[in-house]
Every structure is written in C-alpha cells, then in structure tokens.
Amino acid sequence: MNTDIRIYIAGHKGMVGSAIWRALSVKGYTNLIGISSKELDLRDQNSVKNFFEKHKPHVVIDAAARVGGILANNDFPYQFIMENMQIQNNLIDAALKSNVEKFIFLGSSCIYPKLAAQPLKEEYLLTGTLEPTNEWYAIAKITGVKTCQAIRKQFNKDYVSLMPTNLYGTHDNFDLNTSHVLPAMIRKFHEAKLNDNSPVTLWGSGTPMREFLFVDDMAEAVVFALENQLPDYLYNIGTGEDLTIKELAETIQKIVGHQGIIVWDDSKPDGTPRKLMDVSKMQELGWKHKVNLEAGIQKTYNWFIENEGKYKEVKL
C-alpha cells in the first residue's frame, strides 16, 4: 500500500477515528482526509456525494456512528437506527459510485444474537434475536455489514467489515448520560474518590461477562485490514478474553484508588449475559491485540485526569 494514497477517515475526531489517524500517521501515511461533523453532515446524502466528488479518496474507513450505552440506546431508539443507517448508507453508496476500491466498515459485537453460543463466531450473524437494549444500533450495523458484503459479491470490491468488542481508551466519552460502562466507571470512581471515597452505585448485578479492547489495538487492526486483502467479508476484533462486570469494577476501583464501597442496583438491566468474541479468524491472518486490560485502563485513566475539566459541568 502506497503511503501517499488518499485515505478518508469518517469520524476522525472520535475515539476510534482519532486512534486510526494516529496509527496511520505513525506508519507514514501522509494523505489522510478528515472533516468535522460541523463541516460535513454525513446524514445528508448530497453533501456526502459532493465531498467524494471533490476529494476523490482511494480508501474509506468508516469510524463514524452515533454511539452510546444502554441508557442512550433506550431513550433514543429512532436516532440510533436512523442516523446510523443514514451515515453508513451515504458513505458506502458514495464510495461505490466514486469507484473507491477499499472500504473498511466498523461495527460492533452487538450485531450477534443475544443468546448465541460463546465465543461469538462470525457465522452466528442473523441466527437469533438481538439484545433488546441495543437492537436499534445493532440492526443499523447489520445493514452496513450486509451492504458491504453485497458490494463485495456483486462488484468484486475489497469492502470488509470489522466488528470490535467493547472499545475503550484515550479520547473516550465520559459523559455519564451517554458513555459506555468502562469510562462511566472510571469517572464515577474518580469523583467518588474526590468526595471522601463515597459509595459508588453501579447498574445491574455485576454478573454479566464482557470483553474489552484498547482502542489503539483496534486501530492496528484497521491498519492490518488496509494493508492486506482479507479473504472474507466479516471479522471479529477483540482479545478473546473476558471478565465479569464486578471484576471490571474492582479493577478500575483499584487503579483509580477509590476506597469506598460498591453498591449494585439490580433493579437496573444487565444486558446480554455474556459477549465474548471468537477472534481466531483475524489472528490466523496475523493480527493480535497487544495491550492488556490493566495497562489500558491505566492509560485511559491518565488521559481522563488530564482532560477532566471538560466533564466538570455534568453532575453525578
């Protein structure tokens, strides 16, 4: 892959997109294209079409999405299904019509059925019902996967979908109204520590099991997909290792230094009992994660402390 090819990273200012930008820059790619949501509304088909006609990217990496945790998915189901489909449909269609040969679509492990056998294999897609708490987002992402597969089948273009497990890391979202479980815990334990180690209340029973991948490892997977022609249309990206939410909370509590108690509110939903990815397909091709969970949480917490001021106005 020539390092001067034009690579458009949609969502380049988000946690995932910015990590991909950094990883590509380190590898020597010099012609990266990024544009903010204020300058280009990816939900607007004509605007996206005009953008592609002007910049003519050779490669498109779709890291743009409306994302959030259980609360956000539950409160805004229409926005989660409609806006995500608008974003990805506009990008994929414009890429096809602009003769973009390589498109990397990023999704989520929530595309798999709620009660699918563990670990989750790519072949389990569309074999059962989804987890109700995030089905709107999942359905949108499934349509993106199948659209890229259709283009791959009909037009023989290198359009591939990467499905990461739960991502976290620097530049994460720590807003308690919209964040995912790991950054929300970091913020809760940190603020409770500053408040005389007050108790921390967490949703659910703490028994569900989850897998977490540091965002820089995800970025390396994207670079790997860019620099290699992957033989299949769908690949899981993760560590292949999981732990209970209770174990996650205790790990974060230890790293943050909070010495109070944890209260589990089991009146709140747990979500899917377990979500562990089978990552053997990607590993057999040569990619594997590098950052272990404790090291990744420490890096994320350090970044949160350095950028804590922007979250001060949102109260617990």
Q: Which residues belong to the active site?
A: 137
| 3-class state of residue 265 by DSSP | strand
* Paired tokens of 275: 């979500």
Q: Is 106 annotated as a binding residue?
A: yes
Neighbouring-strand partners of residue 103: 60, 159
Q: Is 22 annotated as a binding residue?
A: no
Q: Is 127 annotated as a binding residue?
A: no
* Gap between the Cα atoms of 301 and 289, Å rounded: 20
Q: Is 14 annotated as a binding residue?
A: yes
Q: Is 210 annotated as a binding residue?
A: yes
Q: Is 27 annotated as a binding residue?
A: no
Q: What are the helix and strand counts (H, E) for the chain? A: 10, 13
Q: Is 270 annotated as a binding residue?
A: yes
* Paired tokens of 117: 């056998």
* Gap between the Cα atoms of 184 and 220, Å rounded: 25
Q: Is 203 annotated as a binding residue?
A: yes
Q: Is 11 annotated as a binding residue?
A: yes
Asked whether 9 and 33 are in contact (CB, 8 A), the reply is yes
Size of the chain, expressed as the number of residues it contains: 316
Q: Report the run of H or E that residue 305 belongs to, with start and end.
A: helix 293-306
* Paired tokens of 89: 């449909």
* Paired tokens of 154: 């009909």
* Gap between the Cα atoms of 155 and 144, Å rounded: 16
Binding-site residues from annotation for NADP(+):
11-17, 106-109, 141, 164-167, 180
Binding-site residues from annotation:
11-17, 106-109, 141, 164-167, 180, 188, 203, 210, 270
Binding-site residues from annotation for substrate:
188, 203, 210, 270
